[in-house]
Amino acid sequence: MATTLTETAHTSATDRKGRRLTYLRAIRDAQSEELSNDPNVVMLGEDVETGMFGTSGGLRDEFGPVRVRDTPISELGFCGAAVGMAMTGLRPIVDLTIATFTYVAFDAIVSQAAKSGYMFGAQAKVPVVYRAAMFYGGGDAAHHSDRPYATFMTVPGLKIIVPSSPYDAMGLLKSAVRDDDPVLCFEDKNLWGVRETLPDEEFFVPLGQAAIKREGSDVTIVAIAGAVRLALQAAEKLNGEGISAEVIDPRSLVPLDWPTIFESVAKTGRLVIADPASRTCSAASEIAATVTEELFGQLKHAPVRVTTPDVQIPFSPPLERTLYPDPTRIAEAARRTIR
Amino acid sequence: MTQDDELLTEMYRRMYLIRVFEERAIELQRKGEIPGALHTSLNQEATVVGATLALRHDDYMTGNHRSHGHPIGKGAKVDRLMAELMGKRTGVCQGRGGSMHLADFSVGSLGESGIIASGVPVALGAGISAQVRGTDQVCLTFFGDGASNAGAIHESMNMAAIWKVPVVFFCENNQWAVTTPIAKSTSVVDIAQRASAYGFPGVVVDGQDPVEVFTATTEAVERARRGEGPTLVEAKTYRILEHAEGLPIPSKYREEAEIDVWRLRDPLPAFAKRLTGEGILTEEQVTEIAREVVLEVDAAIDFARSSEFPSADSIFDGLYSNPIIPLARLR
């Protein structure tokens, strides 16, 4: 899959005129633009020089091996090093490739990246971006399949983006690189091949601004990462049944755009959250709990979470296939809030 | 005074400053004026100052939970350090860090890590940063004998070697990781020996002799600055007191006789004797340095005591650089 998506190198916004870019290509080009924009932006990670999944192809040739650097298999070490780089004037983008590798680097991300700004009394900023692709649904089994964003939502000091389209991947990632705080970018592997025509001009998507992907009046569906397109399919199905669903993509989980969610739920009175991560202490749980606290009197039904059950991801396809939110389950949850 | 004599005098002064700062901090902690656990550098002053004086003002440094001596050695002002220990608003970390996490970026101190070995990769990054930005800065990272067995150090040493990063790995081997002796936890007698596995020099020095520490560290810093890569310096020293003040640590894990041997190797009287013996300082000058240092620490304590605690409404300050408004405040 990876090789077929790898495209030849090119860079600036003008090069993409009229072309439909993949999610992967949008990530690559976002980094390319940021490397061009600021000499303090650097990239490091395993196999970034060859650009294994297509998110850094050609960047080493363009920006040199000092700024685009292959690392040994030392996630803890290079994620910690990125903090030292960030505190002394650089803006590193760390490619962790697969999201489960964040666990190897947990100490560097939590104890150093998240805490150094605050714990040292704001003497330093930590403008680092950690990129990690969430593999799930592809028969990769537990060590390579996870959606760890909720784990990191419990760590104050981190920001978290979950782009669900090529447009958001480019716009959010560019904003993340320019942000002065540590940002985790969780990319959804199931979206790698999704294509979209992007604006000719340079653009940014600010962190903390949700997108209303479809307007509706009966039920609000907040969907995360790869679940956004599934929620849109569910909304289409519901529309045929006379149910008008509003679909919201938070785009960043920290900061989370509460006002947009509250406004929507205040209008519909019903909330479904579609979240590909497992259920306990999920982003879905947090959104459900907060909306319940804030808008209890306006709810017509309890919020419903559509998540993955609390289980490790099994290898065997028939076991794995049914685990994740899908349009059928999301639509059924929406109906439940209305019946 | 020659330049060398001035350096040796400053070396003594900083060692003495750490000594007094630590002794007073222990008193304040026992009185309840300093909250939390306190890990001091008592008896390790020669190691700390020999290493930090080998650095330039704009060089970087990271360290560990035994965090007070490092910034003092690097030239930080003790008033804001003491205020930090008391959790005051005027503290060097605005009362966010405390005893284990001092940092003074104005002197290149990029922060001390309470998580063992966790600050070592950060130092690697500061060194890479100097390379990328084209400066000739060096970063020295302090870690202990206990930390030497942590994976972060292996990864950092390997990366520093392959990229010839201007880093000095400085091991303060004080023989004990809380209650675990080095012989029980570590595969080699000299941690410096491990440098050979990464293909860079490793050197063992007497951590009670500040000049020996300074000379070896200076060589390591110069090598790094020339672009020749890292060095591992291991200073053999000893922790006389418990791992920390204010923690319930069972005694009886080491022999009193072992501690007594090291009590006789207190670096301060030994260095004072050497300086007077070599005619670099007179007895009166040594006494004068002591008097000045005590006044400096007294003033730091006064400053800290008279400073205010951070206000409750400042709790989120510095958490994010472009503040995320917590939901609690949206209400």
pLDDT computed for residue A9 by the predictor: 44
The whole-number average pLDDT for the span B9-27 is 98
Report the residue of A120, A125, A128 to disrupt the B interface, i.e. the one with the largest count of B CBs within 10 Å: A120
B327 touches chain A (CB under 8 A): yes
HSE value, Cβ hemisphere, 13 Å, CA-based, for B101:
23
pLDDT at B325 over 80: no
Sort strands A20-22 and A41-45 into parallel, antiparallel or unpaired.
Answer: unpaired
Check residue A7 and give its pLDDT: 42
Question: CA Rg, chain A, in Å?
Answer: 20
Confidence of residue B136 (pLDDT cuts 50, 70, 90): very high
Q: Does B134 touch chain A (CB under 8 A)?
A: no
Alpha-carbon torsion angle A82, B66, B83, B319, nearest 10: 30
Q: What is the pLDDT of residues B247-279, one digit of tens each?
A: 887 778 999 999 999 999 999 999 999 999 999
Q: Domains in chain A, start-ordered, CATH in brackets? A: 2-197 (3.40.50.970), 211-338 (3.40.50.920)
* Mean pLDDT value across chain B: 95
In this structure, what DSSP letter does residue B67 have? -
Catalytically active residues of A are 144
Number of H helices, E strands in chain B: 13, 8
CB–CB of B105 and A159 under 8 A?
no
How far apart, in Å, do the first and last CA atoms of chain A sit? 42
> CB within 8 A of B267, min separation 6: which ones?
B15, B43, B45, B46, B208, B209, B210
Interfacial B residues in 291-320 facing A (CB < 8 Å): 317-320
Ramachandran angles phi, psi of A274, nearest 5°: -105, 115
- For residue A8, the model assigns a pLDDT of 42
- CA-nearest of A34, A30, A56 to A45 is A56
Residues of chain A with pLDDT under 50: 1-11
Q: How far is B250 from chain A (nearest CA, A)?
A: 28
Q: Is B90 on the interface with A (CB under 8 A)?
A: no
> In angstroms, how far is CA B245 from the centroid of its own chain?
17
* Residue count (chain B): 331
Residue B22 has pLDDT above 90, yes or no: yes
Of B101, B156, B317, the CB nearest to A120: B101
CATH number at residue B116: 3.40.50.970
Nearest CA in chain A to B129: A85
**Whether residue B328 has pLDDT greater than 70:** no
Mean pLDDT confidence for B23-37: 96
Domain count, chain B: 1
Domain that holds residue B211: 3-330
Name the one residue in this structure whose structure tokens are 């207190």. B266
Across the A:B interface, residue pairs with CB atoms under 8 Å apart total 167
The minimum CA-CA distance between B321 and chain A, rounded to whole Å, is 6
- For CA atoms B234, B97, B61, B270, give the dihedral sign: negative
pLDDT surpassing 60 at residue B122? yes
What is the DSSP annotation of B22-38? HHHHHHHHHTTSS-S-B
Contact at CB, A84 and B120, closer than 8 angstroms:
no
Give the residue among B288, B240, B113 at the shortest CA–CA distance from A119.
Answer: B113
Averaged pLDDT, B227-240: 97
Q: How far apart are CA B271 and CA B173, in angstroms?
A: 20
- Answer whether A111 sits within 8 Å of B115, measured CB to CB: yes
- Looking at chain B, the whole-number percentage of residues with pLDDT higher than 70 is 97
Name the DSSP class of B46: H
State the complex-level ipTM: 0.97
Distances, alpha carbon B204 to alpha carbons B117, B165, B209, B215, in Å: 20, 21, 12, 12
Which of B52, B54, B92, B89 has the alpha carbon at shortest distance from B72?
A: B52
